[in-house]
């Protein structure tokens, strides 16, 4: 296959994350001969807000009140930003759009709007709402094992007043750190966990969309799709991953998910990216 015909992977991060966490995966993809682009959604990466109150010694009162650049960013803003990147990537050939976790909401919205720009969409334990809005899934039985209050242990400020979600990932509170590790990287070392935690940014936007942003059969449903299940994910349990797969297949029975499974937690596939890169390489060869 010529380099011109190879797909470009466009990688979309999850909540409180950014393009930086994809660097090891991009290295593996590059060594396999694949090009990739890691996206920073609006208010993420170098567009994020890190206040002096977040630095040591921390100023809790300042952290709780300092304004953040992500305030007011909507799902529509995220989708428009991603679509602009997809348009540029598409000029070079096929595009495989990959989303992780909360990034699936943005990827789904982009596929609803511009399926022509996406040759395959890959959800890695990512949200693709079909029957319910994203927040409503958290009340469902499949999410019963998820400790939704774990982020609250390190919450800074009032989201309604700040206009954003702010979490103090630089906390030294043992209970908060234990909750984060259990949710994100229980199968990693202490060093891996703390390293990844320090790539997180404190602020995330509030808008996760409405019923209008659920997967649409007429547009999203035309795009070939893969769901990569993470077998030991505590943030999105396998039961919920399988429910999203089932709902997507019911919406588009003639275009079901290609389902793959990787071992590990919500973040292990990014800490140890070689297995994921091999799966993605197989998908690229099919295009």
**Domain definitions of the chain by residue range:** 8-286
Q: How far apart are CA 12 and CA 105, in angstroms?
A: 10
Task: State residue 4's pLDDT score.
Answer: 55
For residue 270, give every residue at least 6 positions away whose Cβ sits within 8 Å of its Cβ, in sequence order, or none: 21, 22, 24, 25, 100, 196, 276
Burial class (CB in 10 A: 0-12, 13-18, 19+), 205: buried
The count of other CB atoms within 10 Å of the CB of residue 263 is 13
DSSP strand E in 150-252: where? 165-166, 203-204, 225-230
Instruction: Estimate to the nearest angstrom the gap between the alpha carbon of 201 and the chain centroid.
Output: 14
Task: State residue 150's pLDDT score.
Answer: 78
**Could you tell me if 184 and 147 are in contact, meaning their C-beta atoms sit under 8 angstroms apart?**
no
**Could you tell me if 135 and 146 are in contact, meaning their C-beta atoms sit under 8 angstroms apart?**
no
Q: How far apart are CA 165 and CA 15, in angstroms?
A: 10
Residue range 75-131, pLDDT digits in tens: 999 999 999 999 999 999 999 999 999 999 999 999 999 999 999 999 999 999 999
Task: State residue 180's pLDDT score.
Answer: 95
Q: How far apart are CA 55 and CA 67, in angstroms?
A: 15
For residue 278, give every residue at least 6 positions away whose Cβ sits within 8 Å of its Cβ, in sequence order, or none: 32
Task: State residue 117's pLDDT score.
Answer: 98
Q: Which sign does the torsion angle of CA 30, 227, 145, 206 carry?
A: positive
Task: State residue 287's pLDDT score.
Answer: 82
Length of the chain: 287
Task: State residue 44's pLDDT score.
Answer: 98
Q: What are phi and psi of 164, to 5 degrees?
A: -165, 170
Task: State residue 126's pLDDT score.
Answer: 98
Q: How far apart are CA 192 and CA 195, in angstroms?
A: 5
Given a cut of 70, the residues of the chain with pLDDT beneath it are 1-4
**Could you tell me if 78 and 112 are in contact, meaning their C-beta atoms sit under 8 angstroms apart?**
no
The count of other CB atoms within 10 Å of the CB of residue 194 is 15
CATH classification (class only), 8-286: alpha beta
Q: How far apart are CA 51 and CA 89, in angstroms?
A: 34
What is the pTM for the complete model shown?
0.97
Give CA angle at 266 (24, 186), nearest 5°. Answer: 100
């Amino acid at each position: 296959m010529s380099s011109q015909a190879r797909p470009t992977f466009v990688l979309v991060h999850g909540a409180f994350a950014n393009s930086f966490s994809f660097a090891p995966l991009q290295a593996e993809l590059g060594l396999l001969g694949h090009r990739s682009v890691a996206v920073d959604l609006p208010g993420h990466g170098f567009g994020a807000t890190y206040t002096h109150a977040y630095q040591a010694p921390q100023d809790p009162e300042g952290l709780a009140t300092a304004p953040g650049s992500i305030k007011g960013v909507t799902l529509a803003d995220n989708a428009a930003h991603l679509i602009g990147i997809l348009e540029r990537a598409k000029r070079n050939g096929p595009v495989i759009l990959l989303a992780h976790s909360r990034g699936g909401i943005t990827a789904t919205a982009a596929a609803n709007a511009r399926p022509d720009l996406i040759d395959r969409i890959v959800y890695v334990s990512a949200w693709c709402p079909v029957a319910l809005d994203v927040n409503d899934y958290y009340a469902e039985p499949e999410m019963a094992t998820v400790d939704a209050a774990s982020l609250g242990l390190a919450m800074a400020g009032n989201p309604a007043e700040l206009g954003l979600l702010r979490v103090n990932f630089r906390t030294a509170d043992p209970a908060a750190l234990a909750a984060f590790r259990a949710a994100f990287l229980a199968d990693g070392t202490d060093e891996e966990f703390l390293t990844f935690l320090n790539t997180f940014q404190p602020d995330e936007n509030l808008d996760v969309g409405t019923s209008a942003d659920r997967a649409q059969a007429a547009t999203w449903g035309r795009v070939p799709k893969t769901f990569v299940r993470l077998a030991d994910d505590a943030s999105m349990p396998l039961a919920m991953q399988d429910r999203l797969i089932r709902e997507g297949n019911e919406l588009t029975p003639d275009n079901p998910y290609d389902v793959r499974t990787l071992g590990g937690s919500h973040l292990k596939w990014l800490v140890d990216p070689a297995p994921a890169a091999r799966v993605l390489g197989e998908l690229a060869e099919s295009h």
